[in-house]
Amino acid sequence: MSGSDSALYYGDYLQLGKLLDAQHLESGKNGPPAHDEMLFIIIHQAYELWFKQILWEIDGVLRILDHKVVEEKGLGKATAHLERIVAIQRVLTQQIDVLETMTPLDFLDFRDDLVPASGFQSVQWRLVENKLGMRKHDRHAFEKTSYTSRFTDKDKDRVEATEQHANLFGLIQSWLERTPFVQFGMFDFWEQYRESVDKMLASDEQLIRDNPTLTEAEVAVQVANLKKTSTHFDALFNVERYEELLQKGEVRLSHKALRAALLIHLYRDEPILHLPFRLLHVLVDIDENFTTWRYRHALMAMRMIGTKIGTGGSSGSEYLRKAADNNRVFGDLNNLSTFFIPRSELPVLPDEVKTQLGFYWRPEV
């Protein structure tokens, strides 16, 4: 109990007076209101409320990870925050089903009243992207202008300021680079892993060449593709080659961070690596879910306006589709499966290493 003389009232606590009086239909200002504009407003207000919660969860994760040492307890909390974001993302996508109960003709009843307002002016959505680690030059260009070009000066400054702050990608990379379980005394994981990779690639090539259902041309194509895979592995084992990929923008994670992430995935069944695996796994879920949401949004835009321009002046569904293809943050984690090998081919960990991975490891003083 708070000790206050007046009991807390449900509507006051949730400020329902403000919340339920925040739907003002533009279409009703010059004539009869368009029935479906109410749905349109409520859906987008709900999106903004969920964006606010997502930002709350991301900020919680940033506070946990922004330290040189992240305790296991903190890692568990961070993973829980991120898993909540995944649950929210499912709701974001499901809301499109509700919005699509409005037909294109229903939308046309009030669409012109919205110009030039647009979802491109969602400050919170841009904050979500920036705090996750979206880089300015990685974005699909918005009609060859800055992604903040449709904001007021105040909102533009607020969004662009986050480009200079710590973000989830950067903190995850730093955390991965501090992973201690890469080499243990005389046991060199990477040397044994490379032997397993060479064996796997040689076996794959032999399977291709021995496949009686393939023509000579098909064999040549598949062998060429296998050589490309081999090139990716070469970069994993060669820092200089990997740096070339970084300079070209083909990868983003540092070489050290990528190798640590791979080790965590390959040995995720070891007790001390399972929670880090869950953390990396949920980051891929978040990236994938936002991509799915963007695609659903693009399909909905095509259904509603066809090839018309968006209310904010963009190319509409075409822009949304290209943004879904390009605007990702954790692509390197998603592509880790390129380097996976069967569990049966993994280097066998010595007993003393398995002991250290069973919550017995302590940092050297």
pLDDT in tens, 100-121: 999 999 999 999 898 888 888 8
* Residues whose CB is less than 8 angstroms from the CB of residue 262 and which lie 6 or more positions away in sequence, other chains included: 236, 336, 339
Who has greater pLDDT, 65 or 311?
65
pLDDT band at 313 (very low <50, low <70, confident <90, very high): very low
pLDDT of residue 84: 98
**Ramachandran sector of residue 121 (left: φ over 0; alpha: ψ -120 to 50; beta: rest):** alpha
Record the pTM: 0.89
CB-CB contact of 37 with 110 (8 Å):
yes
Identify the DSSP state of 6. Answer: S
- Residue 318 pLDDT > 50: yes
Stated as kind and residue range, the H or E segment containing 187 is strand 187-188
Percent of the chain with pLDDT over 90: 64
- Mean pLDDT in the chain? 89
List, for residues 246-298, the tens digit of each pLDDT value: 999 999 999 999 999 999 999 999 888 999 999 999 999 999 999 999 999 88
Closest CA to 125 of 41, 78, 55, 43: 55
Who has greater pLDDT, 88 or 136?
88
Phi first, then psi: what are they for 134, rounded to 5°?
Answer: -65, 130
The stretch 117-134 carries a mean pLDDT of 92
List, for residues 207-246, the tens digit of each pLDDT value: 999 999 999 999 999 999 999 888 888 999 999 999 999 9
pLDDT of residue 148: 87
pLDDT of residue 160: 93
Coil, helix or strand at residue 7: coil
